[in-house]
Amino acid sequence: MQTQKYSVNQHPIETVLSWVKSGEIAIPEIQRPFVWNASKVRDLMDSLYQGFPIGYLISWKNPNVQLKDGSLSEGKKILIDGQQRVTALRAAILDEYVIDKNYKQVKITIAFNPIKEEDGRLGRFEVSNPAIRKDKEWIPDISKVFDGSIDQFDLLSDYLERNPDVDSRMVKNAISGLIKMPLRQIGLIELSSELDIEVVTEIFIRINSQGVVLSQADFAMSKIAANENYDGKNLRKAIDYFCHLAIAPEYFPTIRDNDISFTDTDYFAKMSWLKDENDDLYDPSYTDMLRVAFGTVFKRGKLADLVSLLSGRNFETRSFEEEIAENSFSLLREGVFKFMNETDFKRFVMIIKSAGFIQPWMIRSKNAINFAYLLYLTLRDKKVAPVLIESYVKRWFVLTILTGRSVGSFESQFDFDIKRIAEREDFGTYLQDIESAELGDNYWDFALPQSLNTSSSNSPFWHVFLAAQVKIGDKGFLSKDIRVEDMIEHRGDIHHIFPRDYLKKNGLKRGKYNQIANYVYMQSEINIKVGNKAPNVYMTLIRDQIENDNRQYSGLSSITTLNENLELNAVPLNIFDLEIEHYESFLEERRKLMARKIKSYYNSL
């Protein structure tokens, strides 16, 4: 018979708040920062006043940890769901500051009017403002009712004295309901420390009514933030702030001016370079940062293992030990510093760009670039020659995209690769083994052309083809000087070799005419002149104009350069003869040419 791994109890709100204040329940700020607006806090107070349910809180007990002297330290409860509600309660009832989305400390003050009607009943809440504070009908700050600064017996008489014409009995009932709000019950689901992260995640998904899904990274962040022994609070902030600044460097002064204690840490010094950084090719989330930092120093790929290690789990004895927790925090801190290093971060981004991936939209898989950065940092630690690191990282990154190594249930593959790379003395031989197994002739000749059979412009295979064109320096289709790279950088247009209108008029549907094998980067002015003509018509015009030195369509000056341009863009040379009945065979041939170009590009990395 299975033992119950959780308990469900109702507690007065004031009791739960006292547990939070004393640290018996830790709020790890999973959903950072406080995202509710003041009106939502007001609505929560109104629900409490009316006796409406405000949902359940979910806490997960940290395991008891064996200390160095052999004694046990009682695990703390961590709030994994309900942080926003508890923060709202603390703001309105306890008059505590909250951290807003700009990382500033702000007060949210809620006022109460016992004689205003709301939905046919007396008692109305509003966010306090200067007009309310001057209005004698309002109690301008309900927190003063609960903190002892206002005698509750005097509250009614003072109010009636200011408002002599009101119905005293109705006002008494309204204020009585206000005073009783902290005594209202809230449900607390307490999950056992014996539950592993997968079970906790499943419970959370089933219970949470708002469809919010917490990831393993969220649980890891909760473990970090709730730890008081090993500077977990600042470690959590370092991860949060780095990711925030990577996207919005303009927030640097805000963080600097509003979190003075953090600005004194090494973390802040190490990330200060972001204030001047505007490259957005790799803007990591805290999940990305945790994956890379964890994998780099722990040589593991499953974030569930990080959650366990931060709790002090000994995987052999299945016990929890303080030394393991301490060492895990130390290692993770090391990994975070490695991730934040300005020189390494910028060099890595430069390597990815040198492979032709020059825009964020060309990188559809964050996991692919995460592992590439992990590999870069790992090879740096192994003191591999920089020129080899550059080649290995580019090849692994492209291989990962081409083979789908980082999609779906990727963590097991992530974990496998990290461990093998750590074990191998020579990464080059490991990479060659993977290439032999996954990028053989069958892949290039059959699997890749088949993968290019898609109408999605978000296809990773299309993006790799474009990266190949960028790296090689290809000119756009029928362009004399303008490169594919130029058009990508300046948001140029993708056009159809067989014009879209031409195909639509011949009865083809979107899935057919939008095939990526029909796509090229082409200058808009050339595309306008091509119009909706069949390829054999406009290509023959271009050839004739070149021969007659009358270049109205394209700046290409010779048949040789025209043919070279076709080859660079992987366009079949028989394009001069193609009409609607040739469209399918054209797509098939172009997919093969695109695959050959990608193969040549990969081998050059």
CB atoms within 10 A of CB 132: 18
**pLDDT on residue 31:** 42
DSSP string, 494-527: EEESS-HHHHHHTT--HHHHT-GGGEEE--HHHH
User: Beta strand 494-496 with 319-320: parallel, antiparallel or unpaired?
Assistant: unpaired
- The residues that bridge with 496 in the sheet, in sequence order, are 519
For 319, other C-beta atoms within 10 Å of its C-beta total 14
pLDDT at residue number 505: 92
CB 114 within 8 A of CB 175: yes
Determine whether 498 is exposed, middle or buried from the number of CB atoms within 10 Å of its CB (0-12, 13-18, 19+).
buried
Domain ranges of the chain: 6-207, 215-340, 449-604
Spell out, as residue ranges, where the chain has pLDDT lower than 70: 1-4, 28-34, 65-73, 101-103, 118-120, 204-214
Distance CA 25, CA 19 (A): 6
User: Dihedral of the CA atoms 238, 241, 245, 248 (nearest 10)?
Assistant: 170
Tell me the CB-side half-sphere exposure of residue 492, using CA atoms within 13 A: 24
Torsion angle, alpha carbons of 90, 91, 95, 101, to 10: 130
Number of residues that make up the chain: 605
Give whole-number Cα distances, 562 to 420, 475, 479, 545, in Å: 48, 11, 9, 12
**233/360 Cα distance (integer angstroms):** 31
Burial of 389 (0-12, 13-18, 19+ CB in 10 A): buried
| Model pLDDT for residues 87-117, shown as the tens digit of each residue | 889 889 988 888 776 667 788 999 999 888 7
Q: What pLDDT score does 194 carry? A: 79
Q: Write phi, then psi, for 475 (nearest 5 degrees).
A: -80, 155
Of 98, 99, 122, which Cα lies nearest the Cα of 112? 122
What per-residue confidence (pLDDT) applies to 51?
A: 86
pLDDT at 493: 79
Q: What is the DSSP string of 543-591?
A: HHHHHTT--SS----SHHHHHHHHHHTT--GGGGG--GGGHHHHHHHHH
Q: What is the pTM of this model?
A: 0.84
Q: Quote the pLDDT of residue 341.
A: 97
Among 513, 526, 514, which residue's Cα sits nearest to residue 475? Answer: 526
Q: Look at the block and give the residue holding tokens 């730890």.
A: 227
Question: What is the spatial distance between Cα 35 and Cα 54, in angstroms, rounded to a whole number?
Answer: 17
Distance of alpha carbon 207 from alpha carbon 204, whole angstroms:
5
